[in-house]
Amino acid sequence: MKNVKDSLGIYFYKFTAMQLKSKILILGAIITLLALTAIQGYLIYNTYELKKSAFTIDARNAIAVIYGQKQVDSLMWDYRNDFLKQLESYKKGQITKPQVLENLKEKVEPINVLFNDFYNEEIKKNNLKADIKCKIIVTQIQIVDSLGLKTDFVQKDNNIFLLGENFDSTEAILINNSTWQQDHDFINEGNPDAFGLNFKTSIYMNILNWKQNVLKVMAGLLFISVLLFIFVLSLLYYSIYNLLKQKKLAEIKTDFINNITHELKTPLSTLAIATKTLTNRFAQDDKAIAEDTIKTINRQNRRLQNIVDEFLSNSVSSEDIKLNEEEFFPYNFLNNLVEDFKMSSATDIEFIKNIEKNEVSILADKFYLGTALLNILNNAVKYGGKKIEFTYIFDKESRLHIIYIKDNGIGMSSKYKKQIFEKFYRISEKDRHNYKGLGLGLYYSNQIIKVHKGELSVKSKIKEGSTFIIKIPTQQP
């Protein structure tokens, strides 16, 4: 017995260590996935920014090439020459500042039509596959006379649109700033005069669909990244699922070893004592003691055999159960089953029967169906049920035979409702360690109901009891 305890102690130590390792592995796997996701996201973001910058540079270079062509220079010199004449008129006092600017806008309007036509033709040749708009705005117009007196025509934050397409500069990209500086001599009322001109402009571009274009370029990379992420996530999920499944099986195995050890310990100890008694000289001389001892050995032997039989019979799955079905009316069958169970149960248990008497037959195996119901009734008594309510009805709408077995026992929390029908599973909360069994009764009952094409479920609350619900159809498909 000491060796068994030592072996179990080593087993539990290894099991606890395995649980700790499982938690560490799961935590490590999740942290690794998060780290890989962050790295992948960072790399994709950097690639996005690089593609965006490259796209912007290509667009900038394309516009620079267009502005460097002779046709654009010719159009610009057209309005520039006219603007110098407007400034001469201003210096002679023939027009005002606002008129100078208004005349500039009027001169530029027809020029801008030609500029946009030329620009759109040239931008198509670059095959950038983007809607790239550009514009030139005037940020400063200043003249300086011969005495050094400065005159500003453009105020700060009041820029003048010159060429291109007028759009909001806050959404645009500044390409460059340029300054047209020129000293201009002219005759003012028969006398020579001069002024220096500072004409500053800025060129802006606006790529209307650059995000879509960058994403198109990155479509392959994004698709592969998403596939890899899904693959890694699926692999992690599958690994954790299997790890938890193995952990759960290990827990069930541990619980089963505990249960079967407990179940076997009493008859084995009794057999050991009985064997010593038979070998005692005093017992050999007394036939009464010898006969009683032999009876004890026989009883404990049968008990051991019953434990083994319970394990073998209740551990089979629905595929292994072969039904011997017959058609019968449920009323007499269920009434007799409950009455027989009452006779074998403790006298302090209250039974309430609500068995509907109807003319709807059921097709089932009486032996297996009775076994399933008795297992559930025994389970109700085992877990503290002192008041058991057995109800049977036939639901005409769904064509189902429905049996309710309700108890006022200790109940269970919602997390156990599905697990209690699993093989070898037993609730192992602190206040429930003392309930005997191998964890096979409800599993076996569920398998029996399944093979009858029915359904077994449970409703339960802690300290309020449980209600097991069995539904079996009238006709087998």
Higher pLDDT among residues 432 and 438, named by residue: 438
pLDDT in the model for residue 394? 93
Confidence grade of residue 160 (pLDDT, cut at 50, 70, 90): confident
pLDDT in the model for residue 469? 92
pLDDT in the model for residue 132? 83
pLDDT in the model for residue 432? 45
Q: Does residue 286 carry a pLDDT above 90?
A: no
**What number is the average pLDDT over the span 101-113?**
91
d(CA 334, CA 252) in angstroms, rounded, equals 33
Q: Does residue 430 carry a pLDDT above 50?
A: no
One-letter amino acid at 412 equals M
| Residue 366 CB partners (closer than 8 Å, separation 6+) | 326, 328, 333
Residue 118 class from Cβ within 10 Å (0-12 exposed, 13-18 middle, 19+ buried)? middle
Q: What is the pTM of this model?
A: 0.45
d(CA 81, CA 87) in angstroms, rounded, equals 10
What are the structural domain ranges in the chain?
Answer: 46-217, 226-300, 318-473
- Are the C-beta atoms of 115 and 62 separated by less than 8 Å? no
pLDDT in the model for residue 342? 83
pLDDT in the model for residue 266? 57
Higher pLDDT among residues 113 and 296, named by residue: 113
d(CA 267, CA 183) in angstroms, rounded, equals 120
| Residue 275 CB partners (closer than 8 Å, separation 6+) | 297
Query: Which of 105-114, 141-150, 212-221, 464-473 has the least mean pLDDT?
Result: 212-221
Half-sphere exposure of 270 (CA within 13 A, CB side): 18
Cα angle 223-224-226, degrees, rounded to a multiple of 5? 65
Q: Does residue 4 carry a pLDDT above 50?
A: no
pLDDT in the model for residue 285? 62
Fold of 318-473: Heat Shock Protein 90 (3.30.565)
Higher pLDDT among residues 85 and 37, named by residue: 85
pLDDT in the model for residue 157? 72
Confidence grade of residue 378 (pLDDT, cut at 50, 70, 90): confident
What percent of the chain is modeled with pLDDT above 90?
A: 13
**What number is the average pLDDT over the span 440-450?**
83
Query: Which of 26-40, 265-279, 430-444 has the least mean pLDDT?
Result: 430-444
> Mean pLDDT across the chain, nearest whole number?
78
Q: Does residue 453 carry a pLDDT above 60?
A: yes
Higher pLDDT among residues 317 and 350, named by residue: 350
Strands 387-395 and 350-355, how do they pair?
parallel
pLDDT in the model for residue 393? 92
Q: Does residue 219 carry a pLDDT above 80?
A: no
pLDDT in the model for residue 168? 80
Higher pLDDT among residues 12 and 268, named by residue: 268
Query: Which of 24-38, 62-76, 143-157, 324-338 has the least mean pLDDT?
Result: 24-38
Q: Does residue 19 carry a pLDDT above 70?
A: no
Long-range contacts of 50-58 (CB under 8 A, 24+ apart): 51/214, 51/217, 51/218, 52/210, 52/214, 55/128, 55/130, 55/207, 55/210, 55/213, 55/214, 55/217, 56/173, 56/207, 56/210, 58/126, 58/128
What percent of the chain is modeled with pLDDT above 70?
A: 76
pLDDT in the model for residue 3? 46
pLDDT in the model for residue 76? 86
Query: Nearest 5°: phi and psi at 224?
Result: -65, -40
pLDDT in the model for residue 7? 47
Six token digits for residue 225: 């990244």
Query: Nearest 5°: phi and psi at 41?
Result: -65, -40
User: Across the strands, what pairs with 326?
Assistant: 364
d(CA 239, CA 22) in angstroms, rounded, equals 11
pLDDT in the model for residue 242? 79
Query: Which of 149-163, 283-297, 409-423 has the least mean pLDDT?
Result: 283-297
Q: Does residue 166 carry a pLDDT above 70?
A: yes
Higher pLDDT among residues 427 and 371, named by residue: 371
- Best-predicted range by mean pLDDT among 197-201, 235-239, 256-260? 197-201
d(CA 334, CA 381) in angstroms, rounded, equals 18
- Are the C-beta atoms of 194 and 49 separated by less than 8 Å? no
- Best-predicted range by mean pLDDT among 21-35, 163-177, 187-201, 256-270? 187-201
Higher pLDDT among residues 316 and 72, named by residue: 72
Residue 138 class from Cβ within 10 Å (0-12 exposed, 13-18 middle, 19+ buried)? buried
